[in-house]
Structure 1
Amino acid sequence: MIIVLLLTTFLAVLIVRQYLKAKKLPPGPTSLPLIGNIHQLVYYIWRERGVVRAFTYFRKTYGDVFTLWFGPIPHVSICDYETSQEVFVKNGNKYKDRFLPPVFAHVSDNLGLVSANGEVWAEMRRFTLLAFRNMGVGRDLMEERILDELDARCAEIDADAVNGKTIVHTSDFFDLTVGSVINNTLVGKRFDAHNKQEFLELKALMESTADLFSIFDLSLPVWIMKTFFPNRYSRIIEVQQKVLNFVSREAMERYNKWKSGEYTVNSEDPQDFVEAYLAKMEQEEKNGESSLYTMECLKHVIGDLWFAGQDTTSTTLVSGFNQLVNHPEVMEKCKKELMRLTENGSRPLRLKDRAESQYLNAVIAEIQRHASILSVNFWRINHEPTVVKGYPVDSGSVITAQLGALHVNNDIFKNAHEFYPDRFIENEKLLNQVIPFGIGKRSCVGENIARSEMYLMIGNLILRYDIKAHGSLPSTDDKLPYSAGKLPDKTMKLEFVRL
């Protein structure tokens, strides 16, 4: 009897404490002690047939700002642009630290960009932005790198043409093109015939484990994964280590040559990111300072830049062409605009044309809105009590702009399920509300590279070729709706006919 009484009292205390904590947060489904809303989240993801649809249900039920408890930790989701802007831009210094998935924190050990916080993150972000700016990102130098790579791929397409037509596997094409641009930017080497297969094998490995990065894999403590899901844990660790080793291999080789005197860095005009980083290491060593610039940190920085810069951009381009071949009238309208801007295709489309390519800009925005790669955005840590859209948010909570749900918010984008680029011409303010690169202090450092690639690749391919699906039209549905990241139909092949 005493045991029952004690258990009942203990449970009552937990329920009351949970209720009092929930009162200090935006509304959401009723949570339970210890497990929070995990049981409801599982049910609604299953019922609504996907993570984004489940978040959309919660938004419609509880408003644009709502709370879900992942175990004992409350997670505040923001699904409208104005509130996201207020929280993460105007008050961005309060939310600089990320609440990291335990398995990411375990692998990174607070090194790099994506999975680092505090002084390490701040210094690496500052250095990366400066290095990119000095290397011409957003200017003519980066434009030339992208166009040179695209020209090389187009030459391969043209060489393989039969009766003027080439059949191209879209995913392989964009993976290799984007991967070569980012690899050249980071380590000074592009992908060509002699190393193409190795790159494609790595991509296949990454895609084979995409199903592992569910919202639950990213929430579970490492010890639980090791104990109860050892195979999943091993696969996640394996793929992350293989990617890190692959993308940092050139950097490690150059570092060893630099230390042995076989290689001298050009600190005045570094040709790639690794050279800029080694020059910084050399400067720190000369000054005798205790430095954050180590090779282990570089390994993680390159891994973050390569994975984010390659996979997200390539996936968005695949998703975009899935949409375009399903809407040939959009491509035709684009082509007319581009022919006018480039004197009937007598020159390539360039970044300077952006200001006058209103329709192409709208098409790219609609592609990014639909692609919206992250179903669940990275969480930020709230270190002090604050107010979000009139609701109190206690310290110790985590908070994020749920971009997947924001981009399909019908209150912002009318008939959000439709692929309709003209919405951005009818209301130009909507362009600012597509935020695929995140918002605030932790937005993507490679945003300018990705935007340049999207504009130059989509525009010049439409300008140079008549493009249509080879066989049946591709699906535009998300192939991994239950995962933390979206995956478009990557089985599609395109027919390219040179104009």
Structure 2
Amino acid sequence: MGTSSKIAFCHQFLSTLVVSSVFRSKFPHSVLLGNLGLVSANGETWAEMRRFALLAFRTMGVGRDLMEERILNELNSRCAEIDADAVNGKTIVHTAEFFDITVGNVINSVLVGKRFDDQNKKEFLKLKGLLDSTAELFTIFDLTVPVWILQKVCPVRYARMIEVQEEIINYVSREAQERYEQFQKGEYTLNHEDPQDFVEAYLVKIEEEKEKGGSSMYTLECLKHVIGDLWLAGQDTTATTLVSGFNQLVNHPEIMKKCREELMKLTGNGSRPLSLKDRAESHYLNAVLAEIQRHASILNVNFWRINHEPTTVKGYTVDSGSVITAQLGALHVNNDIFKNPEKFYPERFIENEKLLNQVIPFGIGKRSCVGENIAKSELYLMIGNLLLRYDIRPHGSLPSTEDQLPYSAGKLPDKTVKLEFVKL
């Protein structure tokens, strides 16, 4: 992005900022997590955990062939299940469940080295059901008001938030807890040279810091929250974007057809899988993915951030200590940037490539999503390769493309949808 484009973009981005009263760390999500993890942490704790997470991901091959192999292996396994259930070449697929498990297996293999199978699939889907049923708790109200208001005025709602938060963290961090206990008993040996997953890399770091009397930030409790943040951010948002994307694609079969034609040319008529190396040549698929992410815009309102020095937003002075956020959903439907924003029109990114820089579902800057590279790889490889393998059609009526929770801080597509996957 050139200097002038950056200035124009930052001006537009800042115009979407919402400035709040100074509640500082009294926001519910900050208090519930005790300034641990990545999403809600601030200061040196957040900076240290982010540095470590990025380094650990690079070590495990994120952004390289190893990550692509993980994703394609998982997709192959899931497609084999689809094909095994086919009747006359056609399988009816509940897309939300399909993508929940597929994406969940990828992020779970990265974090704890395991995928979900028949034995623990039900437990995973139960947790997902819990998350989906409490989506209404994730509102601007709940993110903004001080904790004491929730405790006094909405005690049942507050208790529910606590319960869900604890259940999620306990579930996703169970493997870390068990492995740490095994290590303490001498029943598990850490691979310092080549950690096989995020948990092992973190446990290695804990021991290294203990030996040299270094940072006390690396604790099992902090690991639990980091894993919780990475798992939720890496699983739910990506899977939800995929559901939203296919809801759009089956409503626009001409776009799906045009995309498949491009992919067939790139892969020798489907003789090989689509690879991340094809990104530079898959111009239309790139445009489709950008339009899917713009419409999905899963994080409608970003998490609150504390402004540490005075600044100016569109002529208004914002003092240090103020709390700000970016309303990403508003940016993605801004008519000054995206003409006819309600229309699903990938060609807008072909006609003006600079628009690609205006789609920021992962945020920008130092607080951008740590798992951005993983998510982008999953979206590219899963959507591209599914279009190469199947003709995907609506099962019955066309799915809705409307937001199911229009007043929430997060957007939610229609997850009841079933689609027909017809083997090509």
TM-score grouping bracket, smaller chain normalisation: over 0.9
Task: Give 3-state SS (helix, strand or coil) of 2:324's partner.
Answer: strand
2:238 alignment counterpart: 313
Q: In the alignment, is residue 392 of structure 1 matched against residue 317 of structure 2?
A: yes
Q: In the alignment, is residue 295 of structure 1 matched against residue 220 of structure 2?
A: yes
Q: Tell whether the 8 Å contact from 2:15 to 2:314 is kept in structure 1 after alignment.
A: no
Q: Tell whether the 8 Å contact from 2:26 to 2:147 is kept in structure 1 after alignment.
A: no
Q: Tell whether the 8 Å contact from 2:92 to 2:418 is kept in structure 1 after alignment.
A: yes
1:374 alignment counterpart: 299
1:81 alignment counterpart: 9
Evaluate the alpha carbon distance shift between residue 184 and residue 151 of structure 1 in structure 2; reply closer, same or farther with a 3 A threshold.
same
The offset of 1:281, in angstroms, is 1.0
Q: In the alignment, is residue 304 of structure 1 matched against residue 210 of structure 2?
A: no
Task: Give 3-state SS (helix, strand or coil) of 1:162's partner.
Answer: coil
Deviations 1:380-426 (A, max 9, x none): 22222222344332333222322110000000000000000000000
2:394 alignment counterpart: 469
The offset of 1:430, in angstroms, is 0.2
Percent of aligned pairs with the same amino acid: 75
Q: Tell whether the 8 Å contact from 1:112 to 1:297 is kept in structure 2 after alignment.
A: yes
Q: In the alignment, is residue 238 of structure 1 matched against residue 163 of structure 2?
A: yes
1:383 alignment counterpart: 308
Q: Tell whether the 8 Å contact from 2:13 to 2:331 is kept in structure 1 after alignment.
A: no
2:358 alignment counterpart: 433
Task: Determine the C-alpha separation between the residues in 2 that align with 1:242 and 1:209.
Answer: 12
Q: Which residue identity does 1:396 align to in structure 2? A: G
Deviations 1:303-329 (A, max 9, x none): 000001100000000000000000000
Q: Which residue identity does 2:129 align to in structure 1? A: A
TM-score (norm 1): 0.80
Q: Which residue identity does 1:346 align to in structure 2? A: S
Deviations 1:46-76 (A, max 9, x none): xxxxxxxxxxxxxxxxxxxxxxxxxxxxxxx
Q: 1:109 aligns with which of 5, 13, 34?
A: 34
Task: Determine the C-alpha separation between the residues in 2 that align with 1:249 and 1:84.
Answer: 43
Task: Give 3-state SS (helix, strand or coil) of 2:370's partner.
Answer: coil
- Give 1:10-409 correspondences, 5 Å limit: 81-83=9-11, 102-409=27-334
Q: 1:419 aligns with which of 344, 348, 356?
A: 344
Q: Which residue identity does 1:312 align to in structure 2? A: T
Task: Give 3-state SS (helix, strand or coil) of 1:269's partner.
Answer: coil
Q: Tell whether the 8 Å contact from 1:102 to 1:220 is kept in structure 2 after alignment.
A: yes
Task: Give 3-state SS (helix, strand or coil) of 1:387's partner.
Answer: strand
Task: Determine the C-alpha separation between the residues in 2 that align with 1:320 and 1:490.
Answer: 11
Task: Determine the C-alpha separation between the residues in 2 that align with 1:85 and 1:106.
Answer: 28
Evaluate the alpha carbon distance shift between residue 173 and residue 100 of structure 1 in structure 2; reply closer, same or farther with a 3 A threshold.
farther
Deviations 1:206-265 (A, max 9, x none): 111111121111122222212221111111111111110000000100000111111111
Q: Which residue identity does 1:307 align to in structure 2? A: L
Q: Which residue identity does 1:295 align to in structure 2? A: L
Task: Determine the C-alpha separation between the residues in 2 that align with 1:394 and 1:292.
Answer: 29
Q: In the alignment, is residue 494 of structure 1 matched against residue 419 of structure 2?
A: yes
Task: Determine the C-alpha separation between the residues in 2 that align with 1:407 and 1:325.
Answer: 22
Task: Determine the C-alpha separation between the residues in 1 that align with 2:39 and 2:317.
Answer: 28
The offset of 1:81, in angstroms, is 3.1
Point out the more displaced range, 149-158 or 189-198.
189-198
Task: Determine the C-alpha separation between the residues in 1 that align with 2:94 and 2:53.
Answer: 33
Q: Tell whether the 8 Å contact from 2:24 to 2:322 is kept in structure 1 after alignment.
A: no
Q: Which residue identity does 1:475 align to in structure 2? A: S
Point out the more displaced range, 104-113 or 147-156.
104-113
Task: Determine the C-alpha separation between the residues in 1 that align with 2:186 and 2:15.
Answer: 49
Task: Determine the C-alpha separation between the residues in 2 that align with 1:87 and 1:119.
Answer: 28
The offset of 1:99, in angstroms, is 5.4
The offset of 1:270, in angstroms, is 0.6
Task: Determine the C-alpha separation between the residues in 2 that align with 1:424 and 1:224.
Answer: 45
Give RMSD over aligned pairs. 1.7
Unpaired runs of 5+ residues, structure 1, are 1-79, 89-97
Task: Determine the C-alpha separation between the residues in 2 that align with 1:195 and 1:101.
Answer: 37
Q: Tell whether the 8 Å contact from 2:24 to 2:321 is kept in structure 1 after alignment.
A: no
Task: Determine the C-alpha separation between the residues in 2 that align with 1:413 and 1:206.
Answer: 32
Q: Tell whether the 8 Å contact from 2:13 to 2:326 is kept in structure 1 after alignment.
A: no
Q: Tell whether the 8 Å contact from 2:307 to 2:324 is kept in structure 1 after alignment.
A: yes
2:19 alignment counterpart: none
Q: Tell whether the 8 Å contact from 1:175 to 1:314 is kept in structure 2 after alignment.
A: yes
TM-score (norm 2): 0.94
The offset of 1:104, in angstroms, is 1.0
The offset of 1:87, in angstroms, is 10
Q: Which residue identity does 2:222 align to in structure 1? A: C
Evaluate the alpha carbon distance shift between residue 225 and residue 185 of structure 1 in structure 2; reply closer, same or farther with a 3 A threshold.
same
Unpaired runs of 5+ residues, structure 2, are 1-7, 17-22
Task: Give 3-state SS (helix, strand or coil) of 2:422's partner.
Answer: strand
Task: Determine the C-alpha separation between the residues in 2 that align with 1:420 and 1:159.
Answer: 35
Point out the more displaced range, 388-397 or 328-337.
388-397
Q: Tell whether the 8 Å contact from 1:165 to 1:495 is kept in structure 2 after alignment.
A: yes
Q: Which residue identity does 2:211 align to in structure 1? A: K
